[in-house]
Every structure is written in C-alpha cells, then in structure tokens.
Amino acid sequence: MKFRPVNRYVHVEMPEEQPHELESGIVLPDDFKPTEEQHTVATIKGWADDVKFKNLLWEGHELIVDRSMVEEFSLGDQKVQVVLENYVIGIL
C-alpha cells in the first residue's frame, strides 16, 4: 500500500536512532535519555500537491526538519513519518 500525504504534509523517513553507549564509569537511571538535537536530517519519500515548495522536492533527497514536529503512525506493518511543511527548515 502506497501512502500519499495531503494537507501540506511531507512524507519523510527519519534516520534510525543509534543506542548511546557511555564510556565513563557513571551509572545513570535506565530511563535516562541524552538531550537530542532539535533539528535532524530526514529523507523525502513523498509530498502533498499543496506543499508551497514542491517544485524543489524529489524522492530520496534530504530535508532539515524540526524533530519534535515529525508525526509517526502505523499503516499496517509499515511505519509512516510525516512533517507539516511549516516545520521544514531547509532542503539539502
């Protein structure tokens, strides 16, 4: 099943998070998560027809997005990640 975004959304794929290994001997709580960068690079998988800058996009290229504004949901066994065009910071 192919997902097609609408309403100014861009379909993206976020990079896989790598587990953080601590090299110091300090013991931290199991639920501790290091601070993440606010922005990240995501790969373009598709976009809605009403995205303002759609003529600058193509599949497989990369965007800089606000990580906290990426929405994720399941579509069958597929994980889908989208971001509203307002939270795209730049195109690489």
Q: For 37-50, what is each residue's pLDDT tens digit?
A: 899 999 999 999 99
Distance from C-alpha of 83 to C-alpha of 8, rounded to nearest angstrom: 9
The CA angle 43-83-31, to the nearest 5 degrees, is 85
Q: How much is the mean pLDDT over the chain?
A: 89
pTM metric for this prediction: 0.81
